[in-house]
Structure 1
């Protein structure tokens, strides 16, 4: 088995164990034996991997997106984990998103103004700016999801 395969199987096992084997069976509709094969390193199961819809169902219930993070790492991508559950339906739609975006941008500009007053952005100030920037990014993701929902 390739090192990528072993890596994915290790993270698949972590995902199943995070959720718990019984709940994982219920969420995916798979048996314990089938789930075990998805992370087994025995040669006869080397080409068996968990279907993506099962991964999505388990990651929704897990404390961390184990397989998604592993795939991102393999591609050299870093993820920012937000316990807010980004892809959950939020109320309000695009109009609320525009208001939230305006508010967040205002907070970012206020933070920037305060940080740059002395001509130096300290490490703590940079962290606060980054936090506001990430909040804006989250609002934009929510807006994108709302716009995609309106297209269908």
Structure 2
């Protein structure tokens, strides 16, 4: 098995262990043995990988998107993991997104104003600005998805 296959299998195993084997079986509809084959390093299982629908189901329940992050790393892509866990499945809509966008932008500008007050942006201030920029970016992604839904 190549380096890529081994890397993906290790991250598949991390994903299953993150969710828990019993929960992973329920979420995917697969047996423990089948899930084990997806991350087995034995020669007879080297060409078996977890189906993408199983990855999606498990990553939704996991604390981190292990397989997606591994795929991105293999392609030289950087992902930003959205650690928000919403209390509801309500998606709002474009109007809610516009409100959230203006609120996030206001927070970013307040952080910037405070950070640049002394003429120097410290590492801590830069990290706060980065956090707010990423949050603003996520609102834009949500807005894009809602707009795409409305055009279908």
Fold equivalence (TM over 0.5):
yes
Contact between 2:111 and 2:129, CA under 8 Å: does it hold in 1?
yes
Alignment of 1:59-138 (within 5 A): 59-85=59-85, 89-138=89-138
Secondary structure of the corresponding residue to residue 83 of structure 2:
coil
Question: Displacement of 1:85 after TM fit?
Answer: 4.3
Match of 2:14 in 1: 14
How far apart, CA to CA, are the structure 1 residues paired with 2:21 and 2:14? 11
User: Does residue 1:49 correspond to 2:49, yes or no?
Assistant: yes
Measured on the aligned residues, the alpha-carbon RMSD in Å equals 1.7
Q: TM-score when scaled to structure 1? A: 0.91
Q: TM-score, normalised by structure 2?
A: 0.91
Q: Following the alignment from structure 1 to structure 2, what is the Cα–Cα distance between the partners of residues 25 and 77? A: 30
- The Cα shift of 1:80 comes to 2.5
| Distance 1:140-1:89 versus aligned 2 partners, 3 A rule | farther
Residue ranges of structure 2 left out of the alignment (5+ in a row): none
| Counterparts of 1:95 and 1:101, CA distance in 2 | 10
Shift in CA distance, 85/74, structure 1 to aligned 2, threshold 3 Å:
farther
- CA distance in 2: counterparts of 1:62 and 1:104, whole angstroms: 27
Cα–Cα, structure 1 residues 36 and 4, in superposed 2: closer, same or farther, change >3 Å?
same
**1:82 CA displacement:** 2.5
Q: Is the 8 A contact 2:82 2:138 kept in 1?
A: no
1:66 CA displacement: 0.9
CA–CA distance in structure 2, aligned partners of residues 119 and 83 of structure 1: 32
Q: Is the 8 A contact 2:72 2:78 kept in 1?
A: yes
> Secondary structure, in 3 states, of the residue corresponding to 2:118?
coil
